[in-house]
Amino acid sequence: MAKILVAGAGGFIGGHLVKNLLNEGHKLVCVDSKPIEYWFQIFDENQNFSLDLKESDNCLKVTDGVDYIYNMACNMGGMGFIENNKAECMLSVLINTNLLRACLVHKIQKYFFSSSACVYNASKQKTVFIPGLKEEDAYPADPEDGYGWEKLFSERMCRHFTEDFGLETRVARYHNVYGPLGTYDGGREKAPAALCRKIIEAKLSKKNSIDVWGDGEQTRSFMFIKDCIIGTKILFESNERSVLNIGSEEQVSINQMIDLIEQIADYKVDKNYQLDKPKGVRGRSSNNDLVKNKIGWDISVSLREGLEETYKWIYSQITSGVNNNKFSRKY
């Protein structure tokens, strides 16, 4: 089988991708800037490196002898993190740039870049329950400040390395990926995990309210991690060079998602709306017409089904006393 580098292997999506590729029998080089003991999933049979890929020499080191690269590495988190750390988010452009340059040196066969729905033009996301965003809606450019600009610029880098050097690149725009074995506290968690945790903590402590950022009417679509990995693999293995959405079209308000989690928890809470907290755009969802047409992919896990699995896992972590910021697992 192939020798594959996964950059960002210690993160949420990266860890699930590594497990999938390992199960297929590939030889893996896994890299993350975090110390290895802080990775979400660790597999001893892989080559595991704790290195900063913003440094060019490190990129050259880990790409030597590799056939394929999945770049899942970036400094990011939920809306609270990316709105307050714009410069740190933008520095991730160095990871993509240096990995692309290393691809030419070591003659990498194919390169994947994980982009984001944060690249989409903000003017198309000013109301709730907007029409799903099509790939063409990224231009004219007006992405999320900081993180969105880094992702959009890096998409262009991939395109031009294909055009100028013949490097096979694949780019997916992820829409709000969630699921077990991810961050659920500490400031980098996304809405599904954060709300599951808040309702679990309220239930366990018999509190009757939770804090909700914004007015709860802002809308999003959320994709379960299983669907993300399947879509990523199908796109990578295809001959399709177009940038494609990998996301869900099931758009809900934050209040509606809270309703779903309350049903799963069998526990009702009042909502303490915090209007001064980061809220992001008013509405965002994926249009999957192009990805269905190009590679035949669509989601298979409903939001309710995915939240049930996520809630169950977070509940097990909280009740077992695991510190989410300082845990590692071996599978």
Query: Dihedral, CA atoms, 226, 231, 234, 236, nearest 10 degrees?
Result: -110
The radius of gyration computed from the CA coordinates of the chain, to the nearest angstrom, equals 19
Helix-strand-coil split of the chain, %, nearest 5: 45, 20, 40
Only one residue has tokens 């177009």, namely: 242
Q: Quote the crossing angle between the two packed helices 225-237 and 12-23, to the nearest 10°.
A: 60
Alpha helix positions (H), the chain: 12-23, 56-63, 79-84, 86-90, 93-106, 147-165, 191-205, 225-237, 254-265, 289-295, 303-320
Structure tokens, 181 = 């074995």
Q: Are 79 and 43 in contact (CB under 8 A)?
A: no
Instruction: Give the whole-angstrom CA distance, residue 211 versus residue 271.
Output: 6
Beta bridge partners of 71: 7, 113
Rounded to the nearest angstrom, the gap between the alpha carbon of residue 107 and the centroid of all alpha carbons in its chain is 27
CA distances from 141 to 27, 99, 152 (A): 39, 24, 8
Rounded to the nearest angstrom, the gap between the alpha carbon of residue 24 and the centroid of all alpha carbons in its chain is 22
Q: Identify the active-site residue in 68, 70, 111, 147.
A: 147
User: Which residue type sits at 161?
Assistant: F
Q: Is 267 a catalytic residue?
A: no
Q: Are 74 and 97 in contact (CB under 8 A)?
A: no
Give the active site residues. 147
